[in-house]
A and B are shown apart, each in its own frame.
Chain A
Amino acid sequence: MLESDLGEFGQCLNPPFWRLGFLSKDDKRRVMLEKAMEEHDYQEGSLLEILHRAQELYGYLSKDLLMELSGSLNLPPSHVFGVATFYSYFKFKPLGEHLVTACLGTACYVKGVEEIITAIEREFNLKRGDPTADGKLSLLVTRCIGACAMAPNIMVDGEVIGKATREEILEHLRLLLGGVKAETI
């Protein structure tokens, strides 16, 4: 079988290829990532730490980025992809400009966060996990941010809004997006 038959993943078969580096070496983020790997001595056991650092720097883990890590840490791509996709904290798609994270912990669920999530989805015509078509807003769902006494909690760009109501959140988001009218269903 030819490597090209395997499509994009054919690259995996050729070690020197990924060692060349997909990401520009001049990129400051790449330099910082290399430094993090150096600190951990390129140890296999530090994979989670490196993935955390990579996501911190790039915002999400692209396929190229994971391939790069696989080469640098001398681990099979299957291992790196397997570990990264196992944990829900890692994201594989770029996020929108603004980020809404709804807490779907037990306390928030009991206090009706699901209604707020559905309302956001309808109002801005997006699905949890994917950004809006214009890339302005992303909606993520997380399991418990640990502020249960304030349930339901919605995080908007890292700021937690406790005891959230549907109207309050929708209004907040409308203002945030600069009053741009979202398509209605």
Chain B
Amino acid sequence: MSKLKLSDIQKIAEHELDFQRAYMHRINVCCSSACVHLGALKLLKAFEDAIKEFGVERQCKVARTGCVGTCSVGPVVILDTVGRALPRLYQSVTPEKVRKIVQDHIVLGLPAEEMLYKNDAFFKKQRRLILRNVGKIDPSRIQDYIAMGGYSAIVKCLATMTPQGIIYEVLNSGLRGRGGAGYPTGQKWSMVARAHGSPKYIIANLDEGDPGVFANRTLAEADPHAILEGMLIAAYAVGAEKGYIYARAEYPLAIETLQKAINQARAMSLIGENVLETSFKFDIELRLGAGAFVAGEETAILASVEGRRAMPRPRPPYPANSGLWGKPTLVQNVETLANIPIIVQNGGAWFAKIGTPKCTGTKCFSLTGQINNPGLIEVPMGTTLREVVFEIGGGVPEGRKFKAVLVGGPSGGCLPENLLDLPIDYDSLAKAGAIMGSGGIVVLDDTSCMVDTAKFFTDFCVDESCGRCTPCRVGLVKVREIYKGIIEGNGKMEDIATLEKAGAYIREASLCGLGQTAPNPVLTTLRYFIDEYTEHIEKRVCRAGKCFKKEKEV
């Protein structure tokens, strides 16, 4: 492909749209990790065969797509028909069912009702900005992304906006970092833009180490170019020359998709020297993590990209002033970056109207645990937990009782039923003792024991503590020992006070976010589920029947 100019992007989009309109039906087969595990790749061939059999090749196009979020009923197929506002979603498709779908839906024009996904409530309360292209485009084709208006934001920036103008829009949008801490993105950008030193770097953080969270993975698998475009705009705004995407090695499909996207973008001169024949240059490289939760921390990720142990260091100096190899570095979560093209396209003021005044925009959550509709969702900030758990998630399975919802991954907080009307935003969650984290919501029902759950997360944090600072390294081990005592039936009433005290110390004295948030599950379970602790200690009883197992078995 020859070198492209700014005006060429629009032409490619028009050309691609014409090409797509030639087909009446577009069959999008979800090929993200979850559906592939369930055999989605076999469906691609099955559809091709069935289409040939019925002789409808000229009406249908079969394509791969990313995850639409309904992972529990995979493999999922999305049938988009020209002239229909909403595409049809088929669930649990097997190669045997494919023939019937093609026959009914495409040849006869009547959707195969019994296989349709009927749970409209799952999508009703959602608003999809970050996941705007999911289920519509083939992540392995850059033309698909361009046809949906992709890369037009960077064209707009390069052609008509100054770096200061972009930062102003981002500031105006009120966007806050989606990695968990919620630092205002615009402020971070202006810090990096003002910082002295060259070259400047950007790190896109895809080290989604929280167990139970897969929002960033889904984004990277479904819409990798949105991340690249966000990085490009950020680079232009802060004056960076080189970007790294730091991805977990446990996400092979996401890595493959991103690498392909980078290669395509480079071939079209969207990244590299002289982006789209302008003087702006920016290159992106992929770096692999190696299984360290703490590597998602802002300063630890720097060490890891430099090829050292992922250990955080005290701040200041902030990465904005002294980051990778001592140069100014912008560290940003991939979800934050995926928001940038929409902000540039629609303006900061438009974006600021979504969500709550203090917390604008939408947020992706991975909804898992004991719930009817687990999957990936995107809701405006300020949506209540009740709406997420009961309306979108469909509540806990039949015959069970809702007990708690864990927000924010292993260092989040367990919130009880009476806090379900809490709106989801950084500040409300922090007040209740939880954190936004990278967006994990795990629902627990009455088969889960809160003491055991708190111990599970403490175990995780002990494993993942890097060992640099004492409160986290030693304190968490002590906390774990106390839990072990309680669960084995040797608990004392003083333990509760000790746990509270230790938790507060660890939170106050730890160096980085991991230690500062690690006691959250301990402190919130103590705050909201103290009854279970006293039962364990005084009566040696576990409501859920999880603890004291050893005694029972002997």
A positions within 8 Å CB-CB of B: 43-49, 51-52, 82-83, 86-90, 104-111, 142-151, 159-160, 162
Contact = CB atoms under 8 A, between A and B. Distances in A.
Contact of B211 (A51, A105, A160): A105
B364 interface: no
Interface residues of B, number: 53
22 contacts: A44-B307, A83-B309, A86-B466, A88-B290, A90-B291, A104-B211, A106-B368, A106-B409, A107-B211, A107-B442, A109-B456, A143-B463, A143-B464, A144-B211, A144-B212, A148-B71, A148-B213, A149-B368, A149-B376, A150-B37, A150-B38, A150-B74
A122 B106 CA distance: 52
Contacts of A82: 309
Nearest to B324: A45
B234 interface: no
Contacts of B310: 86-87
Interface of B: 33-34, 37-38, 71-72, 74, 208-214, 217, 249-251, 287-293, 304-310, 366, 368-370, 374-376, 406, 409-410, 440, 442, 444, 448, 453, 456-457, 460, 463-464, 466
Nearest to B448: A110
B72 A150 contact: yes
B262 to A, nearest CB: 15
B543 to A, nearest CB: 16
B456 to A, nearest CB: 6
B307 A52 contact: no
Nearest to A40: B307
B37 A107 contact: no
B442 A110 contact: yes
Across chains A and B, which 3 residue pairs bring their CB atoms closest together, nearest first? A105-B211, A149-B71, A87-B290
A150 B213 CA distance: 13
B209 A143 contact: yes
A106 B287 contact: no
Contacts of B457: 106
A45 B250 CA distance: 21
Contact of A110 (B210, B369, B460): B369
Contacts of B289: 48, 87, 89
Contact of B304 (A48, A111, A162): A48
A106 B442 contact: yes
Given A43-B307, A86-B309, 7 more contacts: A86-B292, A87-B291, A87-B292, A144-B211, A147-B34, A148-B214, A151-B374
Contacts of A86: 292, 309-310, 466
Contacts of B212: 105-107, 144, 148
A52, A109, A162, most chain B CB atoms within 10 A: A109
A143 B211 contact: yes
Contacts of B293: 143
A48 B250 contact: no
A172 to B, nearest CB: 14
Nearest to A155: B37
A48 B307 contact: yes
Nearest to A149: B71
Nearest to A73: B307
Contacts of A83: 307-309
A43, A44, A45, most chain B CB atoms within 10 A: A45
Contact of A146 (B74, B214, B410, B448): B214
Nearest to A163: B72
A149 B34 contact: yes
Contacts of A151: 368, 374
A37 B210 CA distance: 31
Nearest to B406: A106
Contact of B368 (A43, A46, A148, A160): A148
Contacts of A52: 249, 288, 290
A10 B290 CA distance: 29
Nearest to A150: B34
A106 B457 CA distance: 8
A160 B37 contact: yes
Contacts of B291: 87-90, 142-143
A109 B212 CA distance: 9
A110 B38 CA distance: 21
Nearest to B285: A49
B217 A90 contact: no
Contacts of A144: 209-214, 250
A110 B211 contact: no
Contact of A45 (B33, B290, B305, B440): B305
A45 B308 CA distance: 7
Nearest to A47: B307
B322 to A, nearest CB: 16
A49 B288 CA distance: 7
A46 B287 CA distance: 9
A18 to B, nearest CB: 19
A49 B285 CA distance: 12
A116 to B, nearest CB: 15
B333 to A, nearest CB: 16
B287 A148 contact: no
B403 to A, nearest CB: 11
A156 B457 CA distance: 26
A150 B70 CA distance: 10
Contact of A89 (B249, B308, B444): B249
A22 B368 CA distance: 48
Nearest to A160: B37
